[in-house]
Structure 1
Amino acid sequence: MTKVVVVGSINMDLVVVTDRFPAPGETLSGERFLTVPGGKGANQAVAASRLGANVSMVGKVGRDAFGEQLLVGLQQEGIDTRHVGRTDVATGVALITVSGGENSIVVVPGANHALLPADIAAADALLAGADVILTQLEIPLATVAAVLTSAARHGVPVILNPAPAQVLPATLLQQVALLTPNEHELATVLGCPGADMASLLPLLPGKVVMTHGKNGAWHARADGTLYHQPGFAVEAVDSTGAGDTFNGALATFLPLGVEAAMRYAAAAGALSVTRLGAQAGMPRRDELRAFVGN
């Protein structure tokens, strides 16, 4: 079992399904409303746990009903929540509109922004015992930097999913084992808006696995060559959580090597879009093995 520690956000997703996205100032009648667990950190933790990893979560939720529900939900997924703290700040929420297999999202961070470097110091022994650490940018950048510093001290690889994207300092990027953006996020992270992947991927050789939706993912090898993992053809219902599923799978299977892990990650991401909901669509290990054929 891969020991994965996920440091990141825990949200309640408030999901509306409509036949089309509303225009500015327009009111539409929705088809369905769902309240489902989310947050990039929690989503990635659930994805890894369902795929067979031994997962621990480091995060923050509020002392409110959403926080309690989310904690119980993580525990029911077999995730160690001893380092998920409670705070007086409201639990983070994401407002998600889904239409035609696509989505638009507004995130209110809430308690996620109360996850501070001191919390990382308190979890140092947990991080030291990990095989892989997985983190994102829905928590403060100073906290992400603290994770990378701790991981470097203990020799543990860190996968950073740079979403929501922002320009990242070169010193931070050098500490990352793998960066997992999409094309837009990679351009933003590197401060090269509008640049295409052919020019971006070689800038961080050996450190980038770039997702490309139904087209799969690309890896910039250390020798400068590019490896392409094709996507898996499925009928998309809801793309919410597909990237998180990819990241959770990548962390779970990383001990097999980056390119082998990318195959499982692309397959898991494809399976996740065939069902409604971020965590609800995440596959389990047996389902993934059957889908990829081994």
Structure 2
Amino acid sequence: MKQKKIIVIGSSNTDMVVKTSNFPKPGETVLGGEFLMNPGGKGANQAVAAARLGANVSFVGRVGNDLFGKEAVAHLQEEGIDVTHIEYDAKLSSGIALITVDQKAENTIVVASGANNALHVDDYSKLDALIDADAIVLMQLEIPLETVRQMAQYAKSRGALVVLNPAPAAELAADILQFVDIITPNEHEISTLTQTEVTDAETAGKAASLLAAKGPAIVLVTMGSKGVLLFQENNQHAFAAEKIVAVDTTAAGDVFNGAFVAFLSKGYSLHQAIALANHAAGISVTRNGAQSSAPFLHELSIDF
């Protein structure tokens, strides 16, 4: 079976991470511990996660014409990702994310999007050779919603499979969701999308039903230690999370999404791709960093 191409359209940031025992309250200063600076951004994270699992990945994005942007592009190249569709912005800086991680491995993130906010595709003919029926297009919401809508519609018209990770949480109009084949919110994001509170598999299933009615044929709700819920054709299936000791959950969702499309591209079944993505995400939270936490193919136990 021919392996499908993966085209990740999304953000690239530089993550600046500080570890702390507790998050500061408003107006409070706390002394943190270790400081790390890593390549990040949901789009770039997902591209790296997929590439490390042997997928054929191209990245479509925008960075500033600065040191952060040049280093981000160089890093993606080192990971074996096609970067020919990344543009440099002459005016805006590259995206930056300020991240704090507490002793429970939970995190808070503030993003200055920079050039990511200027990611627009004015000439679709440049992507005609890239996006076709042999492609899986993966997007997130750290780029303009109008770009997400236009690219979802374009990819769908070209016969590609459209996967949307609706993160960070935002309300989405039907003119986006109607072009999405698979949507992968976490419990907080699906709560925003459906205006319902999601706390467990039962409430996740009800919310997934509401979301599927707006367009996506498949809804995957990622719930961290509570596992993953698949909703498809009015049926649902729960995948348990692996029992692990988390160190840093910063990019767990990104690793899940990148791994999920990677295994779909290789011809694995939907259930197999979800199980393997769950496994990859579990490995990632035992490590520090975003892209650096994504596992390689040889680190996964594949028994299908």
Q: What SS is found at the alignment partner of 1:83?
A: strand
- Aligned twin of 2:187: 183
Taking the aligned partners of 1:185 and 1:262, their CA distance within structure 2 comes to: 19
Tell me how far apart the structure 2 counterparts of residues 178 and 119 of structure 1 sit (CA, whole Å): 26
- Residue correspondence of structure 1 range 25-44 to structure 2 within 5 A: 25-44=27-46
* Structure 1 unaligned residues grouped into runs of 5+: none
Deviates more, 1:247-256 or 1:205-214: 205-214
State the distance in 2 between where 1:225 and 1:178 align: 15
Could you tell me which residue of structure 2 aligns to residue 96 of structure 1?
A: 99
Q: Which moved more, 1:130-139 or 1:86-95?
A: 130-139
The residue that corresponds to 1:213 in the other structure is 224
- Aligned-pair CA distance for 1:123: 2.3
Paired letter, 1:141: L
Structure 1 outlier segments of 4+, above 4 Å: none
* Aligned-residue offset at 1:251: 0.4
Q: TM-score, normalised by structure 2?
A: 0.91
1:169 Cα deviation after fit: 1.4
Shift of 1:193: 4.0
Counterpart code for 1:98: V
- Percent identity between matched residues is 46
CA contact (8 A) 1:9 1:138 kept: yes
Structure 2 regions of 5+ residues with no counterpart? none
Deviations 1:218-241 (A, max 9, x none): 11111x111111111111000010
Task: Choose the corresponding residue for 1:199, options 191, 203, 206.
Answer: 206
Q: Distance in 2 between matches of 1:106 and 1:174?
A: 30
Instruction: Please state if 1:230 is matched with 2:240.
Output: yes
State the distance in 2 between where 1:121 and 1:67 align: 25
Distance 2:224 2:118 in 1: 32
Is the CA contact 1:98–1:104 (under 8 Å) kept in the aligned structure 2?
Answer: yes
1:242 to 236, 246, 252: 252
> Residue 253 of structure 1 aligns to which amino acid in structure 2?
F
CA distance in 1, matches of 2:124, 2:196: 32
The answer (yes or no) to whether the contact 2:62–2:86 under 8 Å persists in 1 is yes
Question: How many residues of Structure 1 are paired with residues of Structure 2 in the alignment?
Answer: 290
Match of 2:261 among 251, 258, 263: 251
Stretch of structure 1 that moved more, 70-79 or 22-31: 22-31
In structure 1, distance between residues paired with 2:128 and 2:143: 17
RMSD of equivalent CA atoms? 1.5
- Counterpart of 1:117 in 2: which secondary structure? coil
TM-score, normalising length from structure 1? 0.94
- Inter-partner Cα distance in structure 2 for 1:120 and 1:26: 48
